Structure 1
Amino acid sequence: MFFFEKPSAMRQLQRFFKSPTTICVSAEGHLLVAEEPGNVRDEWKSWRFDTLPIVLERIPVTYGTNRSGQSHKPKVEAIKQALEGVERVIIATDPGREGSMIAWEVLEHLGYRGRIDRLKLGALDEVSIRRAFAAMAKEPDSGERDYAAYLEALCRQYEDYHLGLNGTRAISLRLRPPAFREPWRFGGVQTPTLAILADLEKRIRDFVPQDYFKIALTAATGGGAEITLWHAPKDKILDRQVAEMIQQAAVSWSGPLSVEQKDVRRSPPRLFSKDALARRCAKRFGWDPQHTAKLAQDLYDQGYLTYPRTESEHLPESQFGDASAVIASVVGILTELAGLVPAAGDLVFRKGNKGHYVKDPGEHHAIVPLRKVPQPGSISGDHLRLWELVAKSFLAAHLPDGIDARTTVAAQVPTPLGPKRFSISGSVIRSPGWRAVYGAEADEENEAVPGKVKPDEEPTTGRLPPIRDSEPGKASDARIETAKTEPPRRITRGELPVVMGRLIDQVEDPALKAALENPVNPNEPKGLGTAATRDTILPKLQKSQYVDLLKGKDPPIQVTEVGLAFIAAVRRVFPSYGDPVGRAMFEADLAEIGRAVTRNEAIRRAASYQERTRARVQELIGAIAQSQTVAVDPTAVPATTAPAGQPPTKAMIAFATSLAARKGVKLPRGLKSNGAICRAFLDQHAPARSSEPGEHRPQNGSRPPTEAMVRYARALAQEYGIECPPEITTDFAACRAFLDAHASRKAAKSKDRNGTMVRKGRSPATRTGSPRGRTRVRPANPAHPT
């Protein structure tokens, strides 16, 4: 039995199967999902701190649903029936950890104990399919090795489940300010990713622009030519007196001009990994990384591209022989590029880490086109644009280097600070090479490191005057030009997956850089998450209101006050979860599970990892239990956290107004129309009160009673002919104490009259309202999800 991930892949291979004893089944993504904790134990349904940590030896699973909401139970039952009498299962799901898990979790759930092999389909064209079968035939223990990949994915799910479940509940119950209605979501990958963005946000906010200085020297030659040279060193001149000393020396300069001419070779960019492709599409087309991933997956399923969820930008040297046939197929569709293709023997194959071919590119090689190409009309729109982008990248990788003729004119100017170099460069294209594939778009291939300050470019000019080497020149003018330093650039939506995968580019400490290196595969340093999951992190951060997207084709990411408060709280309580490098090291241990050679070794490593996960969860809950609620400026509360159409009550506004007058503070803007802002103000400035056992309430303030409580209190006061205390309209605790005292008095009177106590609801300590007892006191934070 062949077990496929999707029906589309199954159809691609079924045409090869002739034996009547071969059957095929396909999943639809994950058929089984983790069970909700409330379905495991009733006490885990509500969010209560005293039930934490929730720790399971094994996560129970249930049937998932498809996009239409229908249960996958019939599909699992069909696979169970198909397994009857099966002696051998060949897993043919997508060749990655998630693909392995999709099949193994069903086979484990159904208790299958026969032989299992793994068919790794790096592409779905005929040549690739036959190679995959040949590779499987040479690897008799492919199932054993794949079981290790399954356990790695299972351990990742195990950690995500426990950290997300316990961390989100604990932080929301203890650290989150009461004004926030949304949970403060916590995750093993998303939290350190937010830490990267928050650190960058702080550098941008704390940045103070500084003036720096460049000196321009205008020189005339004996032949009548005039040229402007620049002194603009990489170490910027920040002291104006230094700049003036150099400028004064330059004014009186005379001497020989040096002219250097050389050819500069520009090699083609690397091939595409999943993250690099997402970044390019975001920059060029404005696509969300998840949209790019879906397009690439569709093209893989149709047999037009290789497996897209890869972290590698290289091909194996064993595929040298494919290039000519693939390029011939590509230019058969992109006919305007046919004239650029040299003879098959003249294709360029660049080896090594700086080239395109290596001996071992890792688990999956770069994304490249196949011999099977889309015919006119078979695909259109964004699918075609993505395929063309990948196809052009593959063609460019096999064309010669581009060559520029660069001329640099320079002068050495003696100054009191030592000799200073002034220069200017100009370039002309001698040979376009691979750049002919892209035309004017070729310059887009040079992309800066995300999150860094854009480096200054060397002084250049479009056209240089004719000057001989050593020709004498004399200064006719020298001036100082002032510029300002710039803050680091924000990381954009398309760049975030690249930043997560190449964390090594974000750190400056040599020791940390060394720690992030990957000795198993130097081309793929340690990072956060996997290629398959990185583009899902940003939507989670947005949902939690930790980040906002600014405007732009590829919008920059800005961390909100909520995000900054959250990450500061995490680092104060449990610093390791706010450390991206530490998290990357932890994930490297996770990857070791998938490298186990035998099943027993994989099981041992997985058990050890899960034990560490449980210990970390225990430590996290223990640390949060000793922490206090985070204080946040009320004006920083996002308006979307207030329920739509629910402004604060009149009592809340009155209480806030009296507090502001008493403390001499201003009411924040929006308080009278936004319930969340009003509640945050009250939480910050109202006097603290104690909480009943088992009830979560704000630790740093009070809140007003409900209108129903006030009405009931006034009714009781009128009934007994007593004066209603003024504080019952503004203070929840005072109102509740009044109700507890006089409602119980009324209950006792009723009991004395009838001889028995007739209960119409819970005691007034937990249920109050009108005399009919039908209005429930709202809990201190009614937004806790169940």
Structure 2
Amino acid sequence: MTAAASSRTVFFFEKPSAMRKLQQMFRSPTTVCVSAEGHLLATKEPGDIKDEWKTWAFDTLPIVLDRIPVTYGSNRSGQSHKPKVDGIKQALNGVSRVIVATDPGREGSMIAWEVLEFLGYRGPVDRLKLGALDDVSIKRAFAQMAKEPDSGERDYAAYLEALCRQYEDYHLGLNGTRAISLKLRPQAFRQPWRFGGVQTPTLAILADLEARIRKFVPQDYYKIALKASSASGALVTLWHAPKDKILDKQIAETIRQAASSWSGPLKVEQKDVNRAPPKLFSKDTLARRCAKRFGWDPQKTAQLAQELYDQGFLTYPRTESEHLPESQMGDAPIVIESVVQILSDLAHLLPDPSKLIFRKGNKGHYIADPGEHHAIVPLRKAPQRQQITHEQFQLWELVAKSFMAAHLPDGVDARTTISAQIPTPLGDKRFTVTGSVMKSPGWRAVYGTEAEEDTDNVPGKAKGDDDPSVGRLPPVTNGENANVSEARIETAKTEPPRRITRGELPVVMGRLVDQIDDPKLKAALENPANPNEPKGLGTAATRDAILPKLIKSQYVTLLKGKDPPLQVTEVGMAFIDAVRRVFPSYADPVGRALFESELAEIGRATSRTDAMRRAAAFQERTRTRLKELIETISKADAVALDPSKVPPAGAGKPPTPAMVAFATKLAAQKGLPLPRGLKTNSAVCRAFLDQHAPPRPEQANPQQGSQQTGPRAPSDAMLRYANSLAQQKQIEVPPEALTDFAACKAFIDKHATQRTPGPQTKAATPQRASRSPIPAGSAKGATGTRSKASPMQRGNTATKAPTARRSPPR
């Protein structure tokens, strides 16, 4: 990249790690690099905008803002981001252009553009999309940017889409939660009824599945087994188990009687069956696999993948695609060679580069254009085991094996089917059995015995009956006669739909089409722009955050298991019923998916003017729907809910390790059994401690202390803060601090770090009367003029950010 001696360019990165990587490759006296720390700005709380909005009152709704004021955010330590923003402001003085080099995608675009808008930058902007942080990928990103003189203009459209999503998040979370909590929430439930544009239809999917499970009544169905001996003496058992299950035992008995005296020829079919390797990983399918394999929740998988991306070992992880562009086929030999240098036990599987397999098309691994971000794959730079943590290596190994398997030959199974066509009073019935033997492992050699357990069923569906099969079948010749020696009926029971697990939920949200049976709705969810990625709920970057919100709201609980299934509570069922009664479109997953596909059109706009027009229309639609929601809620009655079905305070949240340790110690001292659920439910653990913990020591006034009936328990917030302090200082929370308010407060007072008040005052916060789009341009220096009013307003974020950023539910 070249620049005039009198001009300066600012590179705007999302993280210091990416900035340092580029600085290792490229330095120039005319460039300045700055980095954010996630989102540097935060939206103001309603109560900070107007005092009357601090109190929840229905007559103040709807709260609708044309522009949501922003202020400086803060990092996890509570330090204000104002110095960072001021440093970026200083760097922008006199620059000829800005190159946005944050993570690819809407979220990365927003991190940079929101600061540029806040500081009033008016110069040209280009977009550098770093899909990976290795040298080759960085050079490719620069080459691609050079080919796109309008990259900044298009990136602004992505930014506007992010703002539109967050504008809706803010208003729906704020107004919907207040309105539903004030008017519809059952009296027995004291927590807010949290409402969000994405989380509510997601809960609807789980609630509908929960209703089907509750209504499910098992039915007996029947299969007929036929033992036959061939003329050569081979014994084989054939089965009649049709896909349309036999539910009438009399029908099964009629077939059994007819088959019991059968003799005739057996038909033997033999063929080789090719098994292609699975697709590469998207963010959601990687989360599902890690949940199944390691028991990780999706947020943990996303964090580990992001860390590996930051270190230059994986490509960009927040992707919806499972394909690679055909232009990258030449990278495969080098990448696989790097992989086997680390996974040396796979080196014997590495073929000559000319014999690698490149499967093209939607059912393969390479397509012409996989969209904004391709599948997650390893890079030329492979990590040594000692370079990264054990869990990071587990994740990298999983992705690396997937990439290697994708370029190896198909597995081949030799499959034999023995069948007999038997006449009965109900027509001819087919009895079969299949035997399958691995003929060639192909790509499965990468995984060994793990290959079979990676078969993925559709979440939320009942497990289907497999065809009757065995490993090896006895030798039987086609047309050989056989006689039946025994015919019997076996009884089985239909099974309810499987619950969706924690690791499967992001996949369900992204592939809503798999949950729908209606052909018209299935067709509506198709995505002509990218058939591999049908319309769904949320985005790859935001889906992980939905389940924790549902659990926090006590709408959903986790059952037991490595990848725990999700169960909707009575509170969650009542909430969905209430929403569907007053405004059913907000609990319609398909409708929401179609709505979001319209929203995505903002980010696909090819010009700033078009993006602004679409954003303004979306914003107006959001306000209209919001007013309709409040109006319908105002006419509705509260939901009736049996108080016994309301979870106790703290239900669903696990106790802290210190609480469990103290309870275990008490139980051992007093010879008591630990109550069921104590180690997984903080409410159960707290009740045990309240009952059996020793009384609080006498305070300064013994008379006053002797009148007390027991210690006052610390709040959940105090316990969380005490445990946070203990972790920071690597000490233990005293057992008495877990049940005694005074002891907990004394611990906090002793160990809390005094913080200097930050500069976040109203006087110090620059506020813009309106948001105006920023003109974007190329290196040629195109400029623009800020408009007087913005068609796009500011919203809060619900996506991943390293900084603490409060947001309403989605």
TM class by shorter chain equals: 0.7 to 0.9
1:641 Cα deviation from its structure 2 partner: 6.8
Counterpart selection for 2:180 from 171, 175, 183: 171
Which one-letter code corresponds to 1:225 in the other structure?
Answer: A
Per the alignment, do residues 186 and 51 of structure 1 end up closer, same or farther by CA in structure 2, a change over 3 Å counting? same
- Aligned 1:430-469 pairs, distance under 5 A: 430-469=439-478
1:178 Cα deviation from its structure 2 partner: 2.1
Which one-letter code corresponds to 2:107 in the other structure?
Answer: E
Higher Cα Rg, which structure: 1
Task: Tell me, yes or no, if structure 1 residue 308 matches structure 2 residue 325.
Answer: no
Q: Which runs of 5+ in 1 are unaligned?
A: 645-672, 675-784
Which one-letter code corresponds to 2:647 in the other structure?
Answer: P
- Structure-1 separation of matches of 2:389 and 2:554: 36
- Structure-2 separation of matches of 1:18 and 1:180: 60
Map of 2:171 onto structure 1 = 162
- Structure-2 separation of matches of 1:60 and 1:443: 54
1:60 Cα deviation from its structure 2 partner: 1.3
- Structure-2 separation of matches of 1:5 and 1:222: 75
Q: Deviations over 1:704-726 (max 9, x none)?
A: xxxxxxxxxxxxxxxxxxxxxxx
> Comparing both chains, which one has the higher relative contact order based on Cα–Cα distances under 8 Å and sequence gaps of 6 or more?
2
Q: Deviations over 1:130-168 (max 9, x none)?
A: 000000000000000000000000000000000000000
1:18 Cα deviation from its structure 2 partner: 2.3
- Aligned 1:1-20 pairs, distance under 5 A: 1-20=10-29
1:179 Cα deviation from its structure 2 partner: 2.2
Map of 1:290 onto structure 2 = 299
Task: Tell me, yes or no, if structure 1 residue 327 matches structure 2 residue 336.
Answer: yes
Q: Which runs of 5+ in 2 are unaligned?
A: 1-9, 654-682, 685-807
User: Is 1:500–1:528's contact at 8 Å kept on the other side of the alignment?
Assistant: yes
Task: Tell me, yes or no, if structure 1 residue 131 matches structure 2 residue 159.
Answer: no
Counterpart selection for 1:236 from 245, 261, 268: 245
Map of 1:193 onto structure 2 = 202
User: Is 1:181–1:641's contact at 8 Å kept on the other side of the alignment?
Assistant: no
1:380 Cα deviation from its structure 2 partner: 2.5
Which one-letter code corresponds to 1:453 in the other structure?
Answer: A
1:373 Cα deviation from its structure 2 partner: 0.7
Query: What SS is found at the alignment partner of 1:181?
Result: coil
Task: Tell me, yes or no, if structure 1 residue 257 matches structure 2 residue 275.
Answer: no
Map of 2:724 onto structure 1 = none
- Structure-2 separation of matches of 1:223 and 1:358: 52
Q: Deviations over 1:540-561 (max 9, x none)?
A: 0000000000000000000000
User: Is 1:180–1:641's contact at 8 Å kept on the other side of the alignment?
Assistant: no
Counterpart selection for 1:61 from 58, 65, 70: 70
User: Is 1:182–1:641's contact at 8 Å kept on the other side of the alignment?
Assistant: no
Query: What SS is found at the alignment partner of 1:23?
Result: strand
Map of 2:495 onto structure 1 = 486
Q: Deviations over 1:159-209 (max 9, x none)?
A: 000000000000000000122221000000000000000000000000000
Task: Tell me, yes or no, if structure 1 residue 318 matches structure 2 residue 327.
Answer: yes
- Structure-2 separation of matches of 1:618 and 1:209: 45
Map of 1:398 onto structure 2 = 407
Query: What SS is found at the alignment partner of 2:486?
Result: strand
- Structure-1 separation of matches of 2:543 and 2:389: 27
User: Is 2:413–2:437's contact at 8 Å kept on the other side of the alignment?
Assistant: yes
Which one-letter code corresponds to 1:458 in the other structure?
Answer: D
Map of 2:794 onto structure 1 = none
- Structure-2 separation of matches of 1:437 and 1:463: 24
Map of 1:530 onto structure 2 = 539
User: Is 1:258–1:470's contact at 8 Å kept on the other side of the alignment?
Assistant: yes
- Structure-1 separation of matches of 2:260 and 2:410: 42
- Structure-2 separation of matches of 1:373 and 1:169: 50
- Structure-1 separation of matches of 2:452 and 2:154: 43
Map of 1:585 onto structure 2 = 594
Query: What SS is found at the alignment partner of 1:15?
Result: helix
TM superposition score normalised by structure 1 = 0.81
1:446 Cα deviation from its structure 2 partner: 1.5
User: Is 2:437–2:472's contact at 8 Å kept on the other side of the alignment?
Assistant: no
Task: Tell me, yes or no, if structure 1 residue 476 matches structure 2 residue 485.
Answer: yes
User: Is 1:546–1:560's contact at 8 Å kept on the other side of the alignment?
Assistant: yes
Query: What SS is found at the alignment partner of 2:269?
Result: strand
Q: Deviations over 1:607-632 (max 9, x none)?
A: 00000000010000000000001000
Query: What SS is found at the alignment partner of 2:499?
Result: coil
Q: Deviations over 1:634-679 (max 9, x none)?
A: 111111179x9xxxxxxxxxxxxxxxxxxxxxxxxxxxx99xxxxx
User: Is 2:435–2:470's contact at 8 Å kept on the other side of the alignment?
Assistant: yes
Which one-letter code corresponds to 1:152 in the other structure?
Answer: E
Counterpart selection for 2:554 from 537, 545, 553: 545
Percent pairwise identity: 76
Map of 1:342 onto structure 2 = 351
User: Is 1:269–1:445's contact at 8 Å kept on the other side of the alignment?
Assistant: no
Task: Tell me, yes or no, if structure 1 residue 410 matches structure 2 residue 419.
Answer: yes
1:465 Cα deviation from its structure 2 partner: 1.2
Map of 1:222 onto structure 2 = 231
Task: Tell me, yes or no, if structure 1 residue 632 matches structure 2 residue 641.
Answer: yes
1:314 Cα deviation from its structure 2 partner: 0.2
Q: Deviations over 1:239-262 (max 9, x none)?
A: 111101110110011110011100
Which one-letter code corresponds to 1:48 in the other structure?
Answer: A
1:387 Cα deviation from its structure 2 partner: 0.3
- Aligned 1:650-729 pairs, distance under 5 A: none
Which one-letter code corresponds to 1:326 in the other structure?
Answer: V
Q: Deviations over 1:57-78 (max 9, x none)?
A: 1221111110101111111111
How many residues get paired? Answer: 646
Query: What SS is found at the alignment partner of 2:533?
Result: coil
Which one-letter code corresponds to 2:26 in the other structure?
Answer: F
Which one-letter code corresponds to 2:548 in the other structure?
Answer: P
Map of 1:114 onto structure 2 = 123
Map of 1:246 onto structure 2 = 255
Aligned-residue RMSD, C-alpha: 1.3
Which one-letter code corresponds to 1:560 in the other structure?
Answer: T
User: Is 2:511–2:535's contact at 8 Å kept on the other side of the alignment?
Assistant: yes
- Structure-1 separation of matches of 2:470 and 2:186: 57
User: Is 2:128–2:141's contact at 8 Å kept on the other side of the alignment?
Assistant: yes
1:414 Cα deviation from its structure 2 partner: 0.4
1:112 Cα deviation from its structure 2 partner: 0.3
Which one-letter code corresponds to 2:244 in the other structure?
Answer: D
Query: What SS is found at the alignment partner of 1:439?
Result: coil
Which one-letter code corresponds to 2:42 in the other structure?
Answer: V
1:7 Cα deviation from its structure 2 partner: 0.4
Counterpart selection for 1:378 from 387, 404, 419: 387
TM superposition outliers: structure 1 runs of 4+ over 3 Å: none
1:444 Cα deviation from its structure 2 partner: 2.2
User: Is 2:230–2:481's contact at 8 Å kept on the other side of the alignment?
Assistant: yes
Which one-letter code corresponds to 1:609 in the other structure?
Answer: F
- Structure-2 separation of matches of 1:403 and 1:225: 26
Map of 2:110 onto structure 1 = 101
Which one-letter code corresponds to 1:12 in the other structure?
Answer: K
Which one-letter code corresponds to 2:132 in the other structure?
Answer: A
- Structure-1 separation of matches of 2:385 and 2:640: 60
1:466 Cα deviation from its structure 2 partner: 1.2
Map of 1:666 onto structure 2 = none
Map of 1:733 onto structure 2 = none
- Structure-2 separation of matches of 1:18 and 1:55: 47
Map of 1:622 onto structure 2 = 631
Map of 2:436 onto structure 1 = 427
Which one-letter code corresponds to 1:20 in the other structure?
Answer: P
Which one-letter code corresponds to 1:23 in the other structure?
Answer: V
- Structure-1 separation of matches of 2:74 and 2:385: 36
- Structure-2 separation of matches of 1:583 and 1:318: 35
- Aligned 1:589-608 pairs, distance under 5 A: 589-608=598-617
Q: Deviations over 1:398-448 (max 9, x none)?
A: 000000001111000001111110011111111000000000000123110
Map of 2:775 onto structure 1 = none
